[in-house]
Structure 1
């Protein structure tokens, strides 16, 4: 009987969970402007459909000075865990490269339903996502300091993850703080970086999980000014950026079938891991 169930599960799994994804290559979809939901082209260039995939993905990168948008639709994506199959990640970063300030924003969407990375879905993602910042007002925190010493940094940890605070300050090259919220309270790791490649930056990242409508927040700074990695800087990063996602607008806009099939695929994946592997 168990073998019969296995055959049925295997057959249904292969039918429902082997996907067709859109493939629109990077080199054909680079635009010298900041693309929004209102200005995205109706048709992307050199797109094809690729079948027998487990996941599909969408990747968008925006940069300024000069303005540019890169759109990529492709099969595959992260496969770190089964639960990582219908997620959106939005990241905003301001970097001092030593010669200029570089602003970058990215969108990464991983999904596991039929043609879930279509241009129509991309447009709906952009309509549902609010992503604003004024990081340029914090640029003084990112100034290069050729006389840097680790004594300029704050060292503190209340993180459940590994966070080294007893460090040789003579070997520090930058101060660093990472703060994140998966569940309250905010977890903080403040220390220093010893890498020789120095690019001071501020970043804000939010991950949105479609299946349970959760969000995980992370913000980070690497810098070289006195006390630039203080906990108060994390408050400034949050105040100077706003990332929100309207789950109702995205999921309820004719998209329920995506959730249903994704749940089926998840159940079959668990079954396979439990009874077969």
Structure 2
């Protein structure tokens, strides 16, 4: 039985990786391993990617997924020469739960991309984990993903306040053809962009998620929650309030930046002390 409260404490990672837990080692690497081995595995991954002949990009994208239900973790790295956000310094953090019928999976996801020198090394990885807090209680919302049979598309909440093409194209869907209720709400500069509709595609699984996009350059945040479900009124705005109440994501920009400054100051201080010793040695030796 899973605990009622799931909290990923990213600051207590050990530095051990079990080789026999390795699933594959290619340029786009995905591993299954115990959550405690993340830091060592990241360093090992960086080393593998660094010597890849096909890694001609100056930028790197990496993603980490903690599968809370099965206590497994996956990490993937790839050159960031194909992603649209490759020129930006960004961190996306997501708490989510997905389900097929009554079988449900909870996970925490991190997606990071940058393009400056050494912005993606193991030291940055550790600083990100130390500055991040992510907690979720999505097990308390499992009922939202339980599908009703038969499903009635007329019971989906439908509303939009944006002109996004991907949303407006669904406003005239015949409810009798709906297969799943969908809602996505993105909050930027305190404005909610709402797209609540339904899908006519066959529903493979339901999901709910809370995501925050952190712009590491200007220290701004974009919040987003979404749900895909098959029950009466499961995609209302009240559902979004529940999703945000049951998950907490925060990132301490000051701590992230300060830890880097502290490291640089320590190095500078050490160099000054070393230089002073050399000067004293020269004075005593030659004068």
Q: Same fold (TM over 0.5)?
A: yes
Q: Is 1:219 aligned to 2:225, yes or no?
A: yes
Equivalent position to 2:66, from 54, 62, 66? 62
* Structure 1 residues 255 and 54: CA distance shift in structure 2, 3 A: farther
Q: Which residue of 2 aligns with 1:176?
A: 182
Offset at 1:81?
5.1
Equivalent position to 1:97, from 81, 93, 100? 100
Hey, which of these two has a bigger chunk of helix by percent?
A: 2
Equivalent position to 1:238, from 233, 240, 244? 244
Residue pair 1:35, 1:69 contacting (<8 A) in 2 also: no
Q: TM-score, normalised by structure 1?
A: 0.75
Q: Which residue of 2 aligns with 1:196?
A: 202
Aligned CA-pair RMSD: 2.7
Q: Which residue of 1 aligns with 2:79?
A: 75
* Structure 1 residues 188 and 116: CA distance shift in structure 2, 3 A: same
Equivalent position to 1:154, from 157, 169, 176? 157
Counterpart secondary structure, 1:96: strand
For 2:88 and 2:81, the matched residues in 1 are separated by: 9
Q: Any idea what the Cα deviations from partners look like across 1:170-220, whole Å, max 9, x if unmatched?
A: 110111111011222212111111111331110111110011111111100
Q: Which residue of 1 aligns with 2:32?
A: 30
For 2:231 and 2:247, the matched residues in 1 are separated by: 21
Counterpart secondary structure, 1:80: coil
Residue pair 2:68, 2:108 contacting (<8 A) in 1 also: no
Equivalent position to 1:250, from 246, 252, 256? 256
Residue pair 2:211, 2:224 contacting (<8 A) in 1 also: yes
Residue pair 1:58, 1:122 contacting (<8 A) in 2 also: no
Q: Which moved more, 1:110-119 or 1:173-182?
A: 110-119
Q: Which residue of 2 aligns with 1:41?
A: 40
Aligned length: 231
Offset at 1:24?
7.6
Offset at 1:230?
0.9
Offset at 1:97?
1.4
For 2:58 and 2:43, the matched residues in 1 are separated by: 23
Q: Which sections of structure 1, spanning at least 5 residues, go unmatched?
A: 1-22, 257-277
Q: Which residue of 1 aligns with 2:12?
A: none
Residue pair 1:55, 1:76 contacting (<8 A) in 2 also: yes
For 2:41 and 2:175, the matched residues in 1 are separated by: 54
Residue pair 1:24, 1:44 contacting (<8 A) in 2 also: no
* Structure 1 residues 71 and 79: CA distance shift in structure 2, 3 A: closer
Offset at 1:74?
3.6
Q: Which moved more, 1:48-57 or 1:155-164?
A: 48-57
Moved over 4 A (4+): none
Offset at 1:76?
1.9
Q: Which residue of 2 aligns with 1:10?
A: none
Larger Cα-atom Rg: 2
Q: TM-score, normalised by structure 2?
A: 0.72
Q: Any idea what the Cα deviations from partners look like across 1:51-97, whole Å, max 9, x if unmatched?
A: 75231222111103321112334432554257x42100111210111
